[in-house]
Amino acid sequence: MKDITEKVIEYQPEIIKRIQELIQIKSIENTPKEGKPFGEGVDGALKFMLKLSEELGFRTKNGFGYYGFAEMGEGEEIVGILGHLDVVPEGDHTTWTYPPYGGCTENGRIYGRGAVDDKGPIMGALYAMKIVKDLGLPIGKRVRIIFGTNEETRWEDMAKYKQEEEIPVCGFTPDSDYPLIFAEKGLLQFQLVCNKGSSILLTGGTAYNSVPDKCSYDFQNNHVLLNSLDKYGYQYNVDEETLTVLGKASHSAKAWRGTNAVVRLCMALNDSGIQNEAIRFIAEILGEDCYATGVIGQCEDVPSGKMTFNVAKIDFNDEQQVIGVDIRFPVTKKKEEIVAAIQKSVSKYNLDYREIDYIAPLYVSNLHPLVQMLRRIYEEETGLDSTPISTGGATYARAFENFVAFGPLFPGKEKMAHQKDEYIEINDLMKSVEMYVKAIAEMAK
């Protein structure tokens, strides 16, 4: 639609300027203060967006510092756009080519922490609402853009929102990939614990959502173990009395891309006769099969593919033995059945199951009107294949039912979220704004 394209071009300089200003607010979670549950920076970003929303002519609300929203239109039902203003830390800023909180523009890109995750896209969505309003596109529902503040850690913002506010009947989050993500695997994190001390001292892994790339053992110059490592072709380093097996890190959701150092060390220990029941479970039942068919059997479905099973952490000391696991299970499978299978398997090795975290899967059928509508808009605007995709990761769409992730990253483009020199391409963002205008108008008919 020509009017939409013209309006996007008209607003482009203002959109860029506002994104730059938002990036310049260092909205990393920090020390809570009264009315500012996630610290000064996050609160500053929330207030910035609410003030801007008022200037653009929207009704606004600050939800106790946990969330905010801007709204237009009338009607009993609400359709929603959900994005977040908090960002992950920049890490070593000296490794950045562009200042992480500068909002620099160069080479057709806006650089800075949050440029693509999620400040650029949520700003684009806000201006898409403004364009719907300016053009007088007919809407019969309320349209609400929700500003989250705690997406990068614990989602306390959405828990508070759901306690206090009306829930949109459907919507999207501009916080992932195109064409759209309609299926997100269930996330289950747990420990397998033996409450007996171990003479075999092991440590490895730093986070549940990462395949561990190192695992260390109190070595004591055991040449049988070295022979086992060499036999398997595993990489390792020896430093005085510590042996460290090396792997390759990867996100747990894509465990097959990594090489699990914890599993490799346990397999070599078991092979060389250095064993306990926890080591035997990893080496004999699990092995380097990140799909855990020895534990669960075949666990997969058509929408989302195979379950992944990542031994993310291990800590064997003189008090207890703890294995930390992250699994991403298919959207049509039941958590209870998976847990029962795990408990049956590990009980033979005197390991107890202790749940740490759980996020239910997201699955919006390909036949759902929202999915069909977004696919049509994407095809009309890009000419590209709109077949929905699944992921083992967790997008903000999981906060509500009948929500999906829709952009902003186009197929084949570099994934810069959480990376140094994070950026968003301006042309891609403006194309997203055009699609968001159409999506908002269609949802709110």
- The superfamily CATH assigns to domain 2-184+362-443 is Zn peptidases (3.40.630.10)
pLDDT band at 1 (very low <50, low <70, confident <90, very high): low
Question: At a CB cut-off of 8 Å and minimum separation 6, what does 15 contact?
Answer: 123, 124, 127, 429, 430, 433
Positions marked catalytic: 86, 151
CB atoms within 10 A of CB 316: 24
Q: Is residue 198 scored above 70 in pLDDT?
A: yes
Q: What is the mean pLDDT of residues 302-327?
A: 94
For 186-359, CATH gives: 3.30.70.360
Between the CA of residue 374 and those of 8, 134, 169, 276, 399, what are the distances in Å?
A: 19, 22, 16, 53, 19
Contact yes or no for 314/192 (Cβ under 8 A)? no
State residue 428's pLDDT score: 98
DSSP string for residues in 213-251:
SEEEEE--S-HHHHHHHHHHT--EEEETTEEEEE-B--B
pLDDT of residue 224: 87
Query: Binning pLDDT at 50, 70 and 90, where does residue 241 land?
Result: confident
What is the predicted pLDDT for the residue at 199? Answer: 86
DSSP labels, 58-104 = -EEEEETTTEEEEEE--SS-EEEEEEE--------GGG-SS-TTT--
Q: Is residue 219's pLDDT more than 80?
A: no
| Residue type (1 letter), 341 | A
pLDDT band at 207 (very low <50, low <70, confident <90, very high): confident
Among 79-88, 114-123, 211-220, 341-350, whose mean pLDDT is lowest?
211-220
Does 2-184+362-443 match 186-359 in CATH topology? no
Q: Which two tokens stand for residue 295?
A: 């534990």
Q: How far apart are CA 36 and CA 64, in angstroms?
A: 8
Taking residues 367-372, what's their average pLDDT? 96
Residue 22 has pLDDT above 90, yes or no: yes
Amino acid at residue number 401: E
Per-residue confidence (pLDDT) for residue 208, from 0 to 100: 87
Domain ranges of the chain: 2-184+362-443, 186-359
Q: Average pLDDT of the chain?
A: 94
Looking at residue 242, what is its pLDDT? 87
End-to-end CA distance of the chain: 17
Mean pLDDT of the region 168-177? 96
